[in-house]
Structure 1
Amino acid sequence: MLLKRTALLILAAVLTTATLSAQTPRKHLLLDEGWKFHLGHAADATKDFNFTIANLFSKAGKAGGTAVGPKFDDQAWTGITLPHDWAIALPFENSDNADVMGHGYKPVGGLYPQNSIGWYRKTFVIMPADSGKRVSIQFDGVFRDCQVWLNGFYLGRNESGYVGFEYDITDYIQFRQENVLVVRVDASQYEGWFYEGAGIYRHVWLNQYENLHVASNGVFFQSTVAGRDATIAVQTSVMNDGLAAGQGSVLTYITDRNGKVLVQAAEKPVALAGRSTAVVQQELTIKDARLWSLEDPYLYKVVSVVKQDGHIVDQVRRRLGVRTVTIEAATGLSLNGKRIKIQGVNCHQDHAGVGSAQPDYLHYYRIRRLQELGVNAYRTSHHAPTPELLDACDSLGMLVLDEARLLSSSAEYQDQFRRLIERDRNHPSVFLWSIGNEEGYAQTNSFGKRIALSMLALQHQLDPTRTSTYAADLGNVFPGVNEVIPIRGFNYREKHVVAYHQDHPEQPIVGTEMGSTVTTRGIYAVDSVKGYVPDQDITAPWWASTAEAWWPLAAENDWFMGGFVWTGFDYRGEPTPFQWPNISSHFGIMDVCGFPKNIYYYYQSWWTDKDVLHISPHWNWKGQEGKNIDVWVNSNADQVELFLNGKSLGKKAMPRNRHLQWSVPYRAGTLSAVGTKHGRTIRTQVQTTDAPDVIELSTERTIVLADGRDAAVINVTVKDKRGREVPDAGNLVRFRVQGDARIIGVGNGDPSSHEADQCAPGAWQRSLFNGKCQVIIQSGKTAGAIRLDATSDGLRPAVATIQATATK
């Protein structure tokens, strides 16, 4: 039922644009298809289309003979569809440079000028009938610095790899021939210290609207709940982009999730001089309001309408989740009056196979995997998230700690912080802002204090409904940012949390980064050559801790709000504690594909009410007969008894927020556990398997939209002749897709694999890593069956069929 609901939510999100366009002159059109791409060169102008030696800025619209020019011949360039991350397709390259290592050994950045400039070109048509409208181009995210031109005219530069931006292009549009949009992306300067990708890795939109319209991110609403009713204060910023004065009116109404109008505010007149903005305030009351919660993430719709001369000239729909959030020093977080312990994770934005260029569905897929684990909160580490991620969290019921990229009050970073808040402040999932992370050069001095005060003032001005934290990698240290931050964030240093609380009992505390156990899925010994660490909760860097070192502290103290584990998924870069050949982190509770590690079951035991009984490791240890195997049991049962081939190895009580261990002399067969939970019996087992025999494909989706954007994740395992999954298989699996679809990425969760995530057409393949790998397919635009064939030498093949359905 949950999977069906997820599919419906995605379908509804896709159809929103079409529905809006049918009801209002405003158009919000996806501009992801039909782009041309070519690498440039950061150090050689002759390989960068003469960009740095052509005098492009002496006259408006001067394009010269460069790739900026509308008449430039780009036929030899590669055709691509956005989102696009060119770094993911680059080979891995060993380097002694710490930043290159941190970015996953991809040869992009200042040391690799030949790979660090990307040129994009796109043509589109505006109909003459739209000549009276305003037109803008909206970029949701480009990594990193980019410059944009339309028809040879320079639009501007964006210096953030994460915050979106928008340009009004009305003055540069031509109506009787194609318009040429050009973007030069410069990824030679890193922004973070982890894999960031490169290119236009989020959506691009073409917006059309009348001169009198709702401003971009110009609707902001605040909810007040009293009893069973909710009052929604709606603030609508209306712009007149025309040269002459204009008059109109604004009305706002709220619908339920099915579009039924529930309440409408009185229409308010508005008069604006040319090129001016006015703000209209309205209040609406929802009777017997259904509150947004983790269990029931119900979303209303707020519709803001602008009229002129009695006709609708603009209309904007925004989803509304009515909820109350309170944070108290003594009791932590409450949502709608219900106390909630934060069971959170930090996540970067890359995924196996696709890097940072994720199709929309993949955000839903990842959030669902986290929810199955028991996660209820997500920290966007350490940057503005993709808008579709927040949509997924709104729809599925996941709290979000939304983080600014940098602690800075300069004009540039204040503008980035403003754009982040104005874009995200209506999302009910966002319960808290973060003004920065581990700013070692400023966090303990007067610079940090003053910067924090400036950022907090801006945050409160733009969003008085929330407050902020700051992720400090400090123990019981108060001066600096911690003096003024409303909620103290701890990155690790959990041994100092109690002392800090005793010294500052009035300040709420949240673990912004906790845990950081390093594990490699399916590995049970340190391998410093391949760069693997054991898949148990035993190894952590010096600055961090194991899961069992921090979670009991949070679970057992009401004043400790809970925390965010570093991390939910593995990610490229930061291959702690090793270097090459490691190219990915080991921090994840799941690997980079979303396959669970054993620590997953520790958290699931104490973060959910599910019956959890999990044995590790697997029981394939041929050649080690008689050797003691360290067996872990993760469970929330009251007690557990372990058996080997039917013989009891002892019964143990399960201590809360801990795990159990046995030392078991290996013998092939069946290792089983029987738990007792509230008088009920729960069972599980692991068995010694035979050799791999057959491939098995599994996917949570059997239907996708034939829109050219939708996607499906297909997970690959192998089984023996008795139908048992082989946990240590490493077979190479080849993939072929039939129907209107394409493979966009493969992965296996091996943090030292140098296999290609992006293969040549017709040559898609990936080795299993400890029995698993993953393939991601994306639909085309033709309805019909999509067939994925998986083959491997010596194994019986497998087929997965997915139906692509037409969009309305």
Structure 2
Amino acid sequence: MQLSAIQLIAVSQLLLRLSVLFCIWSYLAAISLAGEKISLDANWKFRLSEETQAYETMFDDSKWQVIQLPHDWSIEQSTDPQALAAGGGGFFPTGIGWYRRELVAPDEWRDQRISIEFEGVYRNAEVWINGVPLGKHPYGYTPFRYDLSKYLKYGEANSIAVRVDNSEQPNSRWYSGSGIYRHVWLHVNSSVYLDERDISIQTELISETEALIALEVTVSNNSPGRKSLNLVTDILDSDNETIASDTISCLVAPHSQANVARSITIPHPQLWSPDTPDLYTARLRIAEGDQVLDNTSIQFGVRTIDISATHGLLLNGKSVLLCGANVHHDNGPLGAAAFDRAETRKVEILKAAGFNAVRTAHNPPSIAFLDACDQVGMLVIDEAFDGWAAKKTPNDYGIVFHECWQRDLEAMLRRDRNHPSVIMWSIGNEVYERGNSEGLAIAKAMTKRIKELDSSRPITAGINGLGDKNEWSELDPLFDKLDVAGYNYELQRHRLDHLRSPSRVIMSAESYPQDVFANWKAVDEFPYVIGDFVWSGLDYLGESGIGRVFPSGERVMPHWEGSHYPWHGAICGDIDITGWRKPLSYYRNIVWDRGEMLYMAVKVPSPGKNEWQLSAWAQPNSLPSWTWPSHEGDELTVEVYSRYPIVRLYLNDQLVGEQLTSKEYEFRTEFKTTYTQGVLRAVGVENGIEQEEMVLTTAGKPSSIRLLPDRSTISADGQDLSFVTVEVVDDEGRVCPQSEAIVEYNINGPGRLAAIGSGDLATLESYLANPRHVFQGRSLVIIRSSDAPGTIELEACSTGLKSANTTIRAKNLVN
């Protein structure tokens, strides 16, 4: 049979298409066998119990609670004045918990390298696979992995068991949470693989036309044969366009590793900074011939850091002053559970409040938190430890410090060194060894190891004084080991210290909330003082009672003395645990000149006629409200913060007075006026012209509820969250700060109530209580999606108030 020319052409085209399809199929098949990262957050079973045999494969867990990670069992319980964690832990119960789940390992994995990664478990995590112990990880804040390959039963179900022991208390000075509170992953790799922890991407040089990045990669070969490989790297911009590529060949001996170093040029780089958080992606793959054996992606930013006492902190060659917040790891009503959306929202709130930097007090944060800082634009001081070997609480990390510090420090650096947001490493906080030879030896060993893993970032620590009997200058040898000296509540010493140590770069690593003006004056005027980090940016759980105010005549009791129950948290933050900014947050932003120009608040009337007494970390007890029932005719104090040189105060359009608010007056003033219902106006005046005003209007009787979701569309992945602000309002829609209404919440559709909370850290209500009181007219409801798409309906009801409804769509969103 002969084919015509047309038929021959058609057959040729068909064969060509089949050949192309075969190549594509071959490539995709190779890719599917390489570099899988699978979430293991779902389908865990949990029990709070001191079981002794729950690691066994055939253990009966049929009656255990089914949960989805991240999970913090402590926040699910009510506070207890007898809790062993005491006030430091927020009076939350702790104990021992067990987690179990099945893992089906398909036959295709038989020749692969299978490992399990825990991002964070608090604390003393022990892991078993099919009844075989894999190891124990004491520290609650660093990630860890175990190789499962030789223990798996392929083609059938396998049993994973995790025992979490947080029973030895107290072991923390703040709320730690309990359980597997961060994500868990399964890594499936070939015997030749890339480990993202062994990839380093640093910016070497930048110019207007190009940037040079240094890429260091470790290629691992666990196979019995020598491998001739190609390492291929593609650099993608934020639009997912490839802008640079690199290929290098390498030979890797059996059961060994090869270290590869490359320099790659990026044309016309978009530099990362808080104002322009532009990110790149490095896609790396290892190939043997045409077969891709493994691949991974690393997000990074192009930016440089330089510090000196002469020029301060330079980011990409430009001076940056650190407007900083100390932030603990909890997410308020969610406890320690590190949901990605909760971490992102936290960073967004901090940035909206004027902060451009955070110190992760006093432990490595979650990966999601650092990802959010990269994406939103927030500088990070990444802190490894609170204390060292000398213990601050009877059962803290000091017990295992000498055994574990190097492993945990390396885990932090290997995980975090490619985040452009991380600009400094911190090795400790107010460590008890700070004034002796042991402390110097520890600091020397830590800084040496850090420089071996990452020489691109300065090293710091938060250091406080030695007490009245010791000279501050005795700390000079310790500061000499650091690139940046972190002063905790000691910034007033900077002038004399600069005369004694003129090359020392200083930052206020912790400061009292009310010291904002004095500290910022030092930052603004002296280049060797590079920033101020307030304690704290956010209210947090634990360290109960810090930041309290006390009525006149009552003893001001430090938070470390006695019991402050029912207080279960710290109220020293600029922002409360629901995300609501307090008046001091606006004052700080005005002092920092970060955009806001005018704000007004009213001091809460104290019992009797005397002033409130402020504890060390307390803020003035003020509210942005002109609603004070039962105070008609009383004299109230109005605080006004202003960047304008003059402010005027009007009550019901009558001038109360005019005051100066320039820098000489620390951008603030006070007015006294008699309370009467109506409209209070603060007006900023410049060149005799009224430029801006803030208005407070007396709220009427509470009449209805308002629901304000932060997002009306979320992902149907069982992980996403919508934060719904609840407000009790009057007929005109004004928030009623006098309301303490009890509100009940009903939810329908593919979602559930993850938590309900308010800014009241002295309430006895749990964060799962429903109904629950509002506080000062506000509350927060957190909705968690399920795995199913659909419409989630939330209803809020309260006796005597008009109900409210809101709708949230859960969709199968693609990143």
Please tell me the TM-score bracket, short chain as reference: 0.7 to 0.9
CA shift for structure 1 position 439: 0.6
1:45-69 deviation digits (Å, cap 9, x = unpaired): xxx2xx2xxxxxxxxxxxxxx2111
What residue is the counterpart of 1:252 in the other structure? 233
Instruction: Confirm or deny that 1:482 pairs with 2:489.
Output: no
2:126 maps to which of 144, 147, 150: 147
Instruction: Confirm or deny that 1:500 pairs with 2:500.
Output: no
Instruction: Confirm or deny that 1:607 pairs with 2:617.
Output: no
CA shift for structure 1 position 480: 4.4
Distance between the aligned counterparts of 2:286 and 2:373, measured in 1? 29
What residue is the counterpart of 2:506 in the other structure? 509
1:421 maps to which of 413, 422, 436: 413
Cα root mean square deviation, aligned: 1.9
Distance between the aligned counterparts of 1:24 and 1:360, measured in 2? 27
What residue is the counterpart of 2:649 in the other structure? 642
What residue is the counterpart of 1:443 in the other structure? 434
Instruction: Confirm or deny that 1:551 pairs with 2:516.
Output: no
Q: TM-score, normalised by structure 2?
A: 0.86
Instruction: Confirm or deny that 1:239 pairs with 2:220.
Output: yes
The letter of the residue matching 1:564 is F
The letter of the residue matching 2:569 is S
Distance between the aligned counterparts of 1:465 and 1:677, measured in 2? 46
Distance between the aligned counterparts of 1:174 and 1:696, measured in 2? 54
CA shift for structure 1 position 737: 1.3
CA shift for structure 1 position 331: 2.8
Instruction: Confirm or deny that 1:269 pairs with 2:250.
Output: yes
> What does 1:299-310 correspond to in 2, within 5 Å?
299-310=279-290
SS in 2 for 1:417: helix
**Alignment size in residue pairs:** 726
> What does 1:123-272 correspond to in 2, within 5 Å?
123-189=102-168, 190-228=170-208, 229-272=210-253
Q: Is contact 1:445-1:480 (8 Å) kept?
A: no
Distance between the aligned counterparts of 1:239 and 1:604, measured in 2? 49
SS in 1 for 2:407: helix
CA shift for structure 1 position 75: 0.3
> What does 1:713-752 correspond to in 2, within 5 Å?
713-752=723-762
SS in 2 for 1:175: coil
CA shift for structure 1 position 191: 4.0
1:587 maps to which of 546, 568, 572: 572
The letter of the residue matching 2:743 is V
Q: Is contact 1:195-1:572 (8 Å) kept?
A: yes
What residue is the counterpart of 1:800 in the other structure? 806
What percentage of aligned pairs have identical amino acids?
Answer: 32
CA shift for structure 1 position 22: 6.4
Q: Is contact 1:696-1:798 (8 Å) kept?
A: yes
Change beyond 3 A, Cα 1:20–1:197: farther
CA shift for structure 1 position 156: 0.5
Q: Is contact 2:196-2:298 (8 Å) kept?
A: no
CA shift for structure 1 position 353: 1.9
1:106 maps to which of 82, 92, 96: 92
SS in 2 for 1:394: helix
Instruction: Confirm or deny that 1:67 pairs with 2:54.
Output: yes
1:317-372 deviation digits (Å, cap 9, x = unpaired): 00110011111113321111221110010111112221001321011111111111
Q: Is contact 1:373-1:607 (8 Å) kept?
A: no
CA shift for structure 1 position 664: 1.3
Change beyond 3 A, Cα 1:411–1:242: farther
SS in 2 for 1:734: strand
Distance between the aligned counterparts of 2:196 and 2:630, measured in 1? 66
SS in 1 for 2:569: coil
What residue is the counterpart of 2:531 in the other structure? 562
The letter of the residue matching 2:542 is G
Instruction: Confirm or deny that 1:383 pairs with 2:363.
Output: yes
Q: Single out whichever of 610-619 and 768-777 deviates more from structure 2.
A: 610-619
> What does 1:649-798 correspond to in 2, within 5 Å?
649-656=656-663, 657-676=666-685, 681-759=691-769, 764-798=770-804
1:545-604 deviation digits (Å, cap 9, x = unpaired): x43343333333332111111111111111224512211112110111111111111112
SS in 1 for 2:408: helix
Distance between the aligned counterparts of 2:40 and 2:125, measured in 1? 17
The letter of the residue matching 2:640 is V
Distance between the aligned counterparts of 2:711 and 2:645, measured in 1? 36
Distance between the aligned counterparts of 2:705 and 2:426, measured in 1? 45
SS in 2 for 1:414: helix
Q: Is contact 2:83-2:93 (8 Å) kept?
A: no
Q: TM-score, normalised by structure 1?
A: 0.87
CA shift for structure 1 position 266: 2.9
Distance between the aligned counterparts of 1:460 and 1:340, measured in 2? 23
Q: Is contact 1:95-1:101 (8 Å) kept?
A: no
Instruction: Confirm or deny that 1:340 pairs with 2:327.
Output: no
Distance between the aligned counterparts of 1:232 and 1:555, measured in 2? 33
Distance between the aligned counterparts of 2:491 and 2:445, measured in 1? 28
Q: Single out whichever of 391-400 and 249-258 deviates more from structure 2.
A: 249-258
Distance between the aligned counterparts of 2:706 and 2:790, measured in 1? 23
What residue is the counterpart of 1:531 in the other structure? none
Distance between the aligned counterparts of 2:123 and 2:719, measured in 1? 23
2:34 maps to which of 21, 25, 29: 25
Larger radius of gyration: 2
Q: Is contact 2:644-2:684 (8 Å) kept?
A: yes
CA shift for structure 1 position 259: 2.1
What residue is the counterpart of 2:468 in the other structure? none
Distance between the aligned counterparts of 1:457 and 1:666, measured in 2? 62
CA shift for structure 1 position 398: 0.3
CA shift for structure 1 position 412: 1.3
Q: Is contact 1:611-1:682 (8 Å) kept?
A: no
Instruction: Confirm or deny that 1:597 pairs with 2:579.
Output: no
Distance between the aligned counterparts of 1:677 and 1:203, measured in 2? 53
Q: Is contact 1:245-1:271 (8 Å) kept?
A: yes
SS in 2 for 1:267: strand
Distance between the aligned counterparts of 1:417 and 1:177, measured in 2? 37
The letter of the residue matching 1:93 is D
Change beyond 3 A, Cα 1:302–1:89: same
Distance between the aligned counterparts of 1:473 and 1:87, measured in 2? 31
CA shift for structure 1 position 416: 0.5
What residue is the counterpart of 1:89 in the other structure? 76
SS in 2 for 1:498: helix
SS in 1 for 2:193: strand
| Structure 2: gaps of 5 or more residues | 1-27, 390-400, 466-471, 547-557, 603-624
Q: Is contact 2:309-2:527 (8 Å) kept?
A: no
CA shift for structure 1 position 95: 3.9
What residue is the counterpart of 1:352 in the other structure? 332
1:155-201 deviation digits (Å, cap 9, x = unpaired): 11101100010001000111232111000000023542100000000
CA shift for structure 1 position 784: 2.0
What residue is the counterpart of 1:10 in the other structure? none
Distance between the aligned counterparts of 1:673 and 1:21, measured in 2? 67
Change beyond 3 A, Cα 1:799–1:662: same
SS in 2 for 1:266: strand
Change beyond 3 A, Cα 1:610–1:479: closer
What residue is the counterpart of 2:307 in the other structure? 327
SS in 1 for 2:247: coil
Distance between the aligned counterparts of 1:88 and 1:125, measured in 2? 31
